[in-house]
């Protein structure tokens, strides 16, 4: 592009950030995001989502030099940056940040994000993916009671539970030392 005197725009940078994230290069993706800011470019929700998703992917894959359990900190920092710049997060933003929290077993942060979504405007109310991510964070931390509370909130919000949600809840019981809570009756009555 430079050789052809083509100036990169916001879409170009977002595409590069997305590609780097897909390739597991979250550090480079964040460098590109910072370059945009240094150049005074407008960073929108799509660009931030690409950067946060790069962190989520790295936290799931575990192919990072940084402990993947620590990437949730960077994800929350980007979420705070968005808000301070008046770039409003959407459900996709929250899903990626919650995924980072789940990888780090940061259940309280995931629960707080769900509550923020529940208290926010209708367009960011949590969906199945958001709730399941938070339940997974609880499961990884062995916090079965919090996972069950999220599961019940999900149902009371009229959100359909899927097999991934049930698996996350079962994992929470197992990791929390409550295998007796997993029963055919529980699974059948919850459907």
Q: Which residues, including other chains, have CB under 8 Å from residue 166's CB and lie 6 or more apart?
A: 187, 190
pLDDT at residue 179, rounded to an integer: 83
pTM as predicted: 0.89
Instruction: Give buried/exposed letters for 26-54 (b at 16+ CB in 10 A, else e).
Output: bebbbebbeebeeeeeebeebbbbbbbbb
Mean residue pLDDT across the chain = 90
pLDDT at residue 6, rounded to an integer: 83
Q: Which residues, including other chains, have CB under 8 Å from residue 182's CB and lie 6 or more apart?
A: 170, 173, 174
pLDDT at residue 29, rounded to an integer: 95
C-alpha to C-alpha distances, 161 to 14, 31, 40, 49, 158, nearest whole angstrom:
32, 38, 43, 25, 9
Can you list the alpha helix ranges (DSSP code H) found in the chain? 10-22, 26-38, 45-61, 71-84, 91-103, 107-119, 128-141, 144-156, 163-175, 184-190
37-63 pLDDT per residue, tens:
999 998 999 999 999 999 999 988 765
107-142 pLDDT per residue, tens:
999 999 999 999 999 999 999 999 999 999 999 999
Task: Give residue for tokens 């800011």.
Answer: 37
pLDDT at residue 1, rounded to an integer: 75
Q: Which residues, including other chains, have CB under 8 Å from residue 13's CB and lie 6 or more apart?
A: 32, 33, 35, 36, 41, 47
Contact 72, 109 (CB under 8 A): yes
CATH class of 10-190: mainly alpha
7-33 pLDDT per residue, tens:
888 888 999 999 999 898 999 999 999
Of 108, 110, 43, 103, which Cα lies nearest the Cα of 78?
Answer: 43
């Amino acid at each position: 592009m430079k050789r052809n005197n083509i100036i990169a725009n916001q879409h170009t940078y977002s595409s590069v950030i997305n590609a780097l994230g897909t390739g597991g290069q979250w550090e480079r993706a964040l460098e590109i995001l910072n370059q945009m800011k240094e150049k005074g470019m407008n960073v929108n929700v799509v660009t931030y989502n690409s950067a946060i998703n790069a962190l989520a992917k790295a936290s799931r894959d575990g192919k990072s030099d940084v402990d993947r359990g620590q990437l949730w900190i960077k994800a929350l920092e980007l979420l705070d940056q968005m808000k301070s710049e008046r770039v409003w997060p959407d459900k996709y933003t929250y899903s990626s940040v919650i995924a980072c929290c789940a990888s780090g077993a940061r259940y309280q942060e995931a629960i707080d994000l769900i509550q923020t979504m529940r208290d926010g405007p209708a367009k960011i109310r949590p969906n199945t993916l958001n709730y399941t991510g938070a339940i997974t964070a609880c499961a990884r931390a062995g916090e079965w009671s919090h996972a069950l509370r999220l599961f019940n909130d999900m149902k009371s919000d009229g959100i359909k539970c899927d097999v991934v949600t049930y698996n996350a809840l079962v994992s929470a019981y197992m990791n929390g030392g409550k295998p007796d809570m997993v029963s055919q009756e529980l699974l059948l009555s919850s459907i």
